[in-house]
Amino acid sequence: MLITLTLLLALALGVTLIKLVNHQHAIRSLHQAILKRRPLLREDLPSLSGSGWEQLCTLSNDLITEATHLQQLRSGQLAQLEATLGNLQEAVLIVDSNNYILLANKALQSIFPRAVNILGQRLELVLHSVTFLGYVEAVRRGTGQPQHEIEFIEGSQSSTWLEVTGVTIPAINGQKAPWTLFVLHNITKQKKLEAVRKDFVANVSHELRTPLSVIKGYVETLVDDTDGIPAQDRARFLKTIQRHTERLNSLLEDLLVLSRLESINPGIRRETVEFNTFLSNIIDDYRARPAGKGHQLEFQGDKSISPLAIDPLKLTQVVENLLDNALKYTPKGSLIGLHVLRQDAGEVIVCLRDNGPGIPEDDLPHIFERFYRVDKGRSREKGGTGLGLSIVKHIIQLHAGRVWVESRLGQGTAFFFSLPIRLTS
Ligand code: ADP
């Protein structure tokens, strides 16, 4: 009896074990099928018929087929979007509800060259901008502004400004959550121009403020106390007013010249002139002026140069600005030489050299910027506006030439400009 009971128990245990192994096998097959999105076959579920597994098998196969279908639909939609948006000039980015990148067109990669092979990556790992990620969330919640200007800082110095417009794409064909689409427009150039313009306005206001407040102060004193001011002081006040009025005048003149040069059509009126005579006439004119009297002015031309087609008025201004600076910033008795250096590779090079105090190395890269001065006080005292070299640069660039400077402290400064050889106007 006991033996029969033991045998029956062993048999039941054996059957249960076999069932357990079969279930384990079925679970593994189901797991694999879901992972690989491959329908489950009847053979994958051995000897389990009638145990509910068949139903489960049919149900999972239906789900797998539907998921595969949705996946294909999604890829189809993305391919369609890619074909439409891929070649747009504007950068386009689509992310899913978990911030995984679904689409990034070529234009986006031209803005962020390091963002290659980013499909399937998380947005946070590709575009490191907290503001942008905040905007993505806001668009998703429906609280984002339609357009947003965002600065992306890449590396240590360069930053890119983008105007970003974000919209959600409604969930389609069973997609669980909506995607979000962004159009990114590069506005870095405009932003830089805006900053330059702001800087410029601030500089001009600053330059105008000092002479105006001096003039205002002296005029008020003269008006308020007509009889009490001794004649000597009155004359001194008037002289100061005159000096500051002249300063305002030079500033306005230089600003007008600059604005004309920077306009869309600055106009260049070429005439064919004998270049050596053109330059030596300017030097002769300066020798006759009181300002040029205390300096040694010399000219060295190059006979091999044919007549050149230049804008004589504008180039006179270039040489005059350089000569004025040489006279202003070098002590009396200094040597100032205007030389036509050589004619090679289709260009003429002109050099204006002085043996004055020179310009510190750190200032040299900025010397052609508007309002840049090495010594602000000295420049203003000498009637400088800080715009002379900027005007020089513009005029030379209008002639398709180059301008540069070499200088050593205590030894002197040499300004060079080149002009492409053009024989007819
Ligand atoms: P500014 O009206 O002040 O002369 P510029 O644009 O002509 O303005 O020149 C910019 C600055 O360059 C000057 O303020 C001066 O510090 C420096 N500079 C120009 N030419 C010379 C020179 N020949 N020697 C020394 N410094 C010079």
Domain membership of residue 266 (yes or no) is no
User: What's residue 214's pLDDT?
Assistant: 94
Domain enclosing residue 162, as ranges: 87-186
Tell me, in angstroms, the distance from the centre of ligand 1 to residue 325's CA: 6
Nearest residue (CA) to ligand 1, atom 18: 325
Specify whether 67 is located in the same domain as 95.
no
Specify whether 154 is located in the same domain as 280.
no
Residue in 251, 325, 395, 416 to alter for ligand 1 test, most ligand atoms within 8 A of Cβ: 325
Per-residue buried b or exposed e for 271-305, using 16+ beta carbons within 10 Å of the residue's own CB: eebebbebbbbbbeebeeeeebeebebebebeeee
Ligand 1, residue 390: give the atom nearest the CA: 6
Q: How far is CA 98 from each of CA 33, 105, 159, rounded to the nearest angstrom?
A: 25, 19, 27
Is 394:261 a contact under the CB 8 Å cutoff? yes
Residues at CB less than 6 angstroms from ligand 1: 321, 325-326, 329, 354, 356, 359, 367, 372-375, 379, 384-390, 413
Tell me, in angstroms, the distance from the centre of ligand 1 to residue 164's CA: 43
Specify whether 316 is located in the same domain as 419.
yes
CATH of the domain at 244: 1.10.287.130
Specify whether 302 is located in the same domain as 161.
no
Residue in 246, 261, 373 to alter for ligand 1 test, most ligand atoms within 8 A of Cβ: 373
Is 182:212 a contact under the CB 8 Å cutoff? no
Nearest residue (CA) to ligand 1, atom 16: 374
Residue in 252, 261, 323, 389 to alter for ligand 1 test, most ligand atoms within 8 A of Cβ: 389
Ligand 1, residue 389: give the atom nearest the CA: 6
Picking from 186, 220, 237, the residue at the C-terminal end of a domain is 186
Specify whether 203 is located in the same domain as 301.
no
Helix (H) or strand (E) holding 96: none
| Dist CA 180 CA 345 (whole Å) | 56
Domain membership of residue 122 (yes or no) is yes
Tell me, in angstroms, the distance from the centre of ligand 1 to residue 70's CA: 71
Specify whether 126 is located in the same domain as 66.
no
Q: Closest Cα to residue 52, out of 28, 29, 26?
A: 26
Domain membership of residue 349 (yes or no) is yes
Tell me, in angstroms, the distance from the centre of ligand 1 to residue 297's CA: 18
Tell me, in angstroms, the distance from the centre of ligand 1 to residue 107's CA: 44
Specify whether 313 is located in the same domain as 407.
yes
Nearest residue (CA) to ligand 1, atom 23: 326
| Dist CA 97 CA 146 (whole Å) | 19
Specify whether 281 is located in the same domain as 362.
yes
Q: Closest Cα to residue 337, out of 293, 372, 300, 383?
A: 300
Domain membership of residue 166 (yes or no) is yes
Quick: pLDDT tens for 119-160: 889 999 888 889 999 999 999 998 878 788 999 887 666 788
User: What's residue 346's pLDDT?
Assistant: 86
CATH of the domain at 279: 3.30.565.10
User: What's residue 79's pLDDT?
Assistant: 73
User: What's residue 51's pLDDT?
Assistant: 62
Quick: pLDDT tens for 168-205: 987 665 566 788 999 999 999 999 999 888 999 999 99
Domain count, the chain: 4
Domain membership of residue 82 (yes or no) is no
Specify whether 418 is located in the same domain as 279.
yes
Q: Going by DSSP bridges, is the β-strand pair 412-420/179-186 parallel, antiparallel, or unpaired?
A: unpaired
Spans of the chain, pLDDT less than 70 = 45-51, 74, 155-157, 171-176, 343, 425
Looking at the DSSP assignment, which residues form a beta bridge with residue 417?
Answer: 350, 403
- pTM for the predicted model, two decimal places: 0.68
Residue in 376, 379, 391 to alter for ligand 1 test, most ligand atoms within 8 A of Cβ: 379
Picking from 165, 186, 207, the residue at the C-terminal end of a domain is 186
CATH of the domain at 100: 3.30.450.20
Q: Phi and psi for 382 in degrees, rounded to 5?
A: -90, 5
Locus of tokens 């998703």: 140
Helix then strand then coil, in percent of the chain rounded to 5, is 50, 20, 30
Picking from 186, 201, 230, the residue at the C-terminal end of a domain is 186
Is 379:363 a contact under the CB 8 Å cutoff? no
Domain membership of residue 414 (yes or no) is yes
- Distance in angstroms between the alpha carbons of the first and the last residue of the chain: 128
Tell me, in angstroms, the distance from the centre of ligand 1 to residue 387's CA: 9
Specify whether 164 is located in the same domain as 308.
no
Q: Closest Cα to residue 414, out of 351, 328, 331?
A: 351
Specify whether 28 is located in the same domain as 133.
no
Tell me, in angstroms, the distance from the centre of ligand 1 to residue 217's CA: 29
Residue in 324, 329, 378 to alter for ligand 1 test, most ligand atoms within 8 A of Cβ: 329
Specify whether 198 is located in the same domain as 222.
yes
Domain membership of residue 140 (yes or no) is yes
Domain membership of residue 69 (yes or no) is yes
